[in-house]
Amino acid sequence: MDIKVLIDLIKVALENGFAYGVLALGVYITYSILDFPDLSVDGTVPLGATVSAVLILQGMNPWLSCLIAFLAGAAAGCVTGLLHVKLKIRPLLCGILVMTALLSINLVLMMKGTGGMSTAALYNSPTILKVFPVGLIPENVNGYKLRIVVVTLALAVICKLLLDGYLKTKSGLLLRAAGGNEQFVTMLARNPGVSKILGLAIGNGLAAFAGAILTQSKSSADLQMGQGMVVIGLASVIIGTSVFRGVRRMKDTTKVILGAVIYAACLQVALALGLPNSYLKLLQALLFVLALVSTDLLDGGLKKSANAKGGR
Amino acid sequence: MLRCEGLLKRFNVGTPDETMLFDGFDFEAEQGDFVSVIGSNGSGKTTLLNLICGSLPLDGGKITFGGRDITRMSEHKRAAMIGRVFQDPQKGTCANLTILENMALADNKKGLFGLTGAVNKKRIEYYRTLLEECGMGLENRMNTPAGSLSGGQRQALALVIANMTDIELLILDEHTAALDPKSSETVMRLTDKLVSGKKITTLMVTHNLRYALEYGNRLLMMHMGRSVMDLRGPEKKNAKIEDLLKTFNEISIECGN
Ligand SMILES: Nc1ncnc2c1ncn2[C@@H]1O[C@H](COP(=O)(O)OP(=O)(O)O)[C@@H](O)[C@H]1O
Ligand SMILES: [Mg+2]
């Protein structure tokens, strides 16, 4: 593999990697902080994509459509949380239920918004990549899609900083406590269920935001894009936290974004080596297994394994 | 102060294993009482505490606290007036948060958990003095995650945390049982210091008969969901380990030291 191919790989990995990084931040909240394996992400990523695409087609400002996408994802996350907290349904089932319900909701939204189609094309519409202030960045430099990389990087960093800040507030610290020790939160005279719902709302809000970013950077939205998003998010979190485990000064939020970039790069390598596109999801799953197993090996089987966590 | 009237509690309802643990259990504690609760395994001590704290639902009966009926109040609402330390040192603190973060959360028990900074730097000195009272050197490790402390240190921290805001009832369930004799002794002395300082009404379950006799002004012995002995004042003061063992010799109780 010569250097030019390598640079191409990095370039493509960065195009998707930072948007996946936003997704990974969302999954980090549910999976790592709340210890809640949340499958709803497979539904909330395309929800965000659909909501933002449809709203843009209706003439809404693309940035505003991202905000609404975030709120729609947060609402779906609340439903996941309510199913778990109020109806005592197990986390995995809550995710499956919401993901399944969103299949219909996304389809209906898409059909209503596009006049009966199952995809939305934004080639002739404004997106966050075309409007101010992003429009000022050169789109291509020497054939590299500089603009997408800069914008998604900036958005991932902003999300990371906001999340870092939030986790230092009283509400954020209570969220971390709710994931670690529910009884402790109860003894603080707070309902740990409320914290869980809040965490799921933020996590799925970020997932939907990632969907909105992905769809606008590709200038198209389709309903299949949700497939495998849970795996992308979880793998990014696990890869990031295990690869950079030794780096004390690096925050977990930084690690998971880098994990997303590494994961996107791995996928690109495989495709560059000639893997047919149809094997992509299979490869995603295999990479995920690899990430889980390597975490275990690094842990030496001493610590609570990521496997056990995900299998609950 | 605390009154339990005619408590009913069944387990495994509707299965062949259905058991009635409490069948009309009565108990009351006055303001400032320090009640040591002893009894064999399975006599219902933990269940009684769980019912009082609202961790388990009642099948019947009534619980009032300071004249207020709390029978239907949720666990976390009751927790506003209750501090609790569990047998399991993992439960009383949050392992993934530092000592400082644990204390900052507990300090805010009566406040709002909003978007202001979690750790108030001005309070750190106060936290330090609280930790100094434990005599375990915790005040120098405030940025250590609670999960990396020893069992005794975690229990001492849990005890401090449970007492950080003004509580009206302190619930201790074998909180020294998982500790080595020395830490156990330290945590017990800290308990006494905290309780007698603020005159908090306290229920302390223990398997250590010496602690049960040495600390507190009341001693309750439970057996199979009933109270079989309730000593107060001078009766409690003059009781001896032999008396307790005699009353209860058919039940094996681990004798402290
Ligand atoms: N959640 C539960 N389900 C079924 N039985 C229980 C449950 N909790 C307690 N019990 C039963 O109630 C009895 C009293 O238990 P417990 O209150 O834990 O006793 P103690 O704390 O005095 O050792 C035991 O026989 C136990 O089997
Ligand atoms: Mg017990």
Indicate yes or no: CB of A173 within 8 angstroms of CB of B104: yes
Model confidence over A22-36: pLDDT tens digits?
999 999 999 999 999
A136: pLDDT strictly greater than 80:
no
Q: Across residues A295-312, what is the average pLDDT?
A: 50
Distance of CA B151 to the CA centre of its chain: 16
Q: Of B90, B208, B61, nearest to B153 (Cα)?
A: B90
- Cα distances (Å, whole numbers) of residue A56 to A19, A43, A68, B103: 19, 20, 11, 47
Residue nearest to atom 6 of ligand 1 (CA): B11
Which uninterrupted H or E stretch holds B20? Answer: strand B19-29
Is residue A308 very low, low, confident or very high in pLDDT (cuts 50, 70, 90)? very low
B182 touches chain A (CB under 8 A): no
Query: How much is the pLDDT for B256?
Result: 41
Output the pLDDT for position A182.
95
Q: Tokens 């309510």 — which residue?
A: A82
Whether residue A179 has pLDDT greater than 50: yes
Rounded CA-CA distance A92/A42 in Å is: 12
The residue with greater pLDDT, A247 or A163, is A163
Burial of A36 by CB count in 10 Å (0-12 exposed, 13-18 middle, 19+ buried)? Answer: buried
Q: What is the pLDDT along chain B (257 residues), one digit of tens a residue?
A: 899 999 999 999 999 999 999 999 999 999 999 999 999 889 999 999 999 999 999 999 999 999 999 999 999 999 999 999 999 999 999 999 999 999 999 999 999 999 999 999 999 999 999 999 888 999 999 999 999 999 999 999 999 999 999 999 999 999 999 889 998 999 999 999 999 988 999 999 999 999 999 999 999 999 999 998 999 989 998 988 888 888 877 665 443 43
For residue range A200-240, list pLDDT tens digits in order.
999 999 999 999 999 999 888 888 888 889 999 999 999 99
pLDDT tier at A299 (50, 70, 90 boundaries)? low
Q: Which position has the higher pLDDT, A3 or A245?
A: A245
Q: Which amino acid is at A109?
A: L
Comparing C-alpha atoms, which of A156, A164, A175 is closest to residue A36? A175
pLDDT for res A239? 92
Query: Counting beta carbons within 10 angstroms of the beta carbon of residue A104, is it exposed (0 to 12), middle (13 to 18) or buried (19 or more)?
Result: exposed
Average pLDDT for A238-245: 91
Structure token digits, residue B94: 């949050």
What confidence score (pLDDT) does residue A298 get? 67
With residues binned 3-state (H G I as helix, E B as strand, rest as coil), the percentages for chain A, rounded to 5, are 75, 5, 20
The pTM of this model reads 0.91
Rounded CA separation B109/A138 (Å): 52
> Average pLDDT for residues A155-163, to the nearest whole number?
97
The residue whose CA is least distant from atom 25 of ligand 1 is: B42
Confidence (pLDDT) at A287:
85
Contacts of A177 in chain B (CB under 8 A): 94, 97, 105
Q: Is the pLDDT of residue A310 over 50?
A: no
Give pLDDT, residue B251. 61
Residue A305 has pLDDT above 80, yes or no: no
Measure the CA–CA gap between A127 and A53, rounded to whole angstroms.
Answer: 9
Residue A198 has a pLDDT of 98
Ligand nearest to the CA of B47: 1
* ipTM confidence: 0.92
What are φ and ψ of residue B56, in 5° steps?
Answer: -125, 145
Helix (H/G/I), strand (E/B), else coil: A218? helix
> How confident is the model at residue B202, as a pLDDT?
97
User: A131, A175, A129: which is closest to A153 by C-alpha?
Assistant: A129
Residue type, A73: G
- Average of per-residue pLDDT values in chain A: 89
Which CATH entry fits the domain spanning B2-93+170-254: 3.30.2350.10, 3.40.50.300, 1.20.140.160, 3.40.640.10?
3.40.50.300
% of chain A residues with pLDDT over 70: 93
What separation in angstroms does the CA of B69 have from each of A8, A189, A242, B142, B203?
70, 18, 51, 39, 19
Mutate to test the pocket of ligand 1, among B46, B47, B58, B253 (most ligand atoms within 8 A of CB): B47
User: Smallest Cα–Cα separation from B248: which of B22, B234, B231, B185?
Assistant: B231
* Nearest alpha carbon, ligand 1 atom 20: B42
